[in-house]
Copies of this chain bind each other. A is one copy, B any other.
Amino acid sequence: MDFERLLSTIRRHTQLTEQEEMKLCAILRIKKLKRKEFLVRVGDDARHEYFVNKGCLRTYYIDEKGTEHNTYFAIEGYWLSDIYSRTFNTPALCSIVALEDSELVHIPNIALEELLIDVPALERFFRISYQKSLATIHLKQIQLLSMNGCERYNYFREKYPEIDKRVPQKHIASYLGFTPEFFNTVRSKAIREKVLSSAKVGW
């Protein structure tokens, strides 16, 4: 079973002994999903953490009018869960569906909580990860306040080129909070600006 990508992600932040890595691997499972298959449906008991080995997944919320709002995309090397459900033991707020055939590492929450007490280096890894996520959300909040639609789309494409390539455009529009019509306008403008800025005066 392939846990190497997950282990090397952890090793970038903290050092586990060989025995600690074995303890971690003992609670890990592999989960495979076909495209369009659900990992979590809203209302599920979603008390697990996942790590993406391969593939691409979409997290979304459905509002009272039945409109889907994308809140997160995950590709190789990303962590993934309904964090509210996992933290406060409530039914899932969002659904998570595979956009491509995917392979995930599955960590049951109860086993993870026990392991965190037993292996402080792992507690350290998750503390650093969560702190970085909070810091990144803080930066994003500020950037959104100072960017117009076109700037936000360009920022997304620069920051997440792989997601921009693999996720259907309608889902990116929903993630950015754009209507499909507004997204088309913004996209045309962004492409036009890119072409103009890379064009060379040849005479």
Mark A residues whose CB is within 8 Å of B.
Answer: 61, 63-64, 69, 71, 82-84, 86-88, 93-94, 116-117, 120, 123-124, 126-127, 130-139, 141-142, 145-146
Instruction: Assess the A63–B145 pair: CB atoms within 8 A.
Output: yes
Instruction: Assess the A64–B146 pair: CB atoms within 8 A.
Output: yes
Please give 20 more A-B residue pairs, beta carbons under 8 A apart, in addition to A84-B138, A87-B132, A130-B134.
A63-B146, A71-B138, A71-B141, A71-B142, A83-B134, A83-B138, A84-B135, A84-B139, A87-B135, A88-B135, A93-B139, A93-B142, A120-B120, A120-B124, A123-B123, A130-B130, A130-B133, A134-B134, A134-B137, A137-B137
Give this chain's copy count. 2
Closest 8 CB pairs of A and B: A130-B130, A120-B120, A127-B127, A87-B135, A84-B135, A63-B146, A83-B135, A61-B142
State A202–B197 Cα separation when bound (angstroms): 72
